[in-house]
Structure 1
Amino acid sequence: MNALTVNLQSVLELTDEQFFNLCQANRDLRFERTATGELIIMPPTGGETGNRNAGLTAQVWIWNEQNKLGIAFDSSTGFKLPNGADRSPDASWIKLERWDALTEQEKQKFPPICPDFVVELLSPSDSLKVAQEKMREYIDNGMRLGWLINRKSRQVEIYRQGREVEVLESPVTLSGEDVLQGFILKIEAIW
């Protein structure tokens, strides 16, 4: 099942609070919202993709627990980006100083911040073009490092501030570089 995009603008404009409540009332679906207000309805992932997402998130979380440099998030976390879009990356991380600058109320809902680090794992029903556009949106909103992992082609696209996208063929590991210092993703388990 593919994601469905619905333009409600001519009928209804959801406030941030209404969008949050819609997401809470429909926990079996994942919602995102574009900067122009279009609602994206995404079905739950399949078993293989869900398992790979869990492994990916676990590696980020374990590294973060050992280093205490920030906060790690799973795929069910929504973020309000500076451009107004609401996005939920498959795994993400925010530097502790940036997270601590948010109010407790902002932390409880969809934090109004773009993660420093984002991973998107392409599922069989995802469009590569749409995922690449999403990664560019993250970069435009302040993401410092991002990985778009395409299991089918065994490619990883690396997104960095101020640099061209780098494409790796069948890497064994990925480095968190200067964003997640010392983090090495063992990608063999993700393929």
Structure 2
Amino acid sequence: MRIISGQWKGKRLVAPLGETTRPTSDRARQALFDMLWHSPWAGRELVDGAIVLDAFAGTGALGLEALSRGGTKGVFIEKDRAALIALRANIANCGAEAQVIAGDATKPPRPVHAATLAFLDPPYAGGLLGPGLEALDAAGWFAPGALICTELGAKDPIPETRFETLADRSHGKARLLVLRG
């Protein structure tokens, strides 16, 4: 697993051993960022200068990819101890300036800055996407018009939300949804 593009292109990312953390594949990340750069509802300027939130961060691959491509501030929320070790190592390896919150994305603190680009990649089949979206929204984590990129299992149900669905694509075992706040 590596950073695909931007200032940290080619940097290797570490992941904890075991099945607890499931990093987004390079292929799915590339597909997601291609959508973000080339869709009529997005564009490179969306990523460039973005305030990035990576909730259920795991290794931080999604948030670090956004920062590598021009995001300016990054906040990562993760509660798993082994994932936090990998996340902090990946942030240090990239030389990213980012805040790590060791906590539950379904019970987040209030943000210092609302995110303009958010990533939510909870464990598949855990039913956490809906509660995570609601909790982060209620706490003020999404700026008006923010893009929220989510990953869930291909067969996981899509939660009912107030957000507009801009894209719904399957990539192997992953299903990518892009929502607008």
TM-score band w.r.t. shorter chain: 0.3 to 0.5
Q: TM-score, normalised by structure 1?
A: 0.37
Larger Rg over CA atoms: 1
Q: TM-score, normalised by structure 2?
A: 0.39
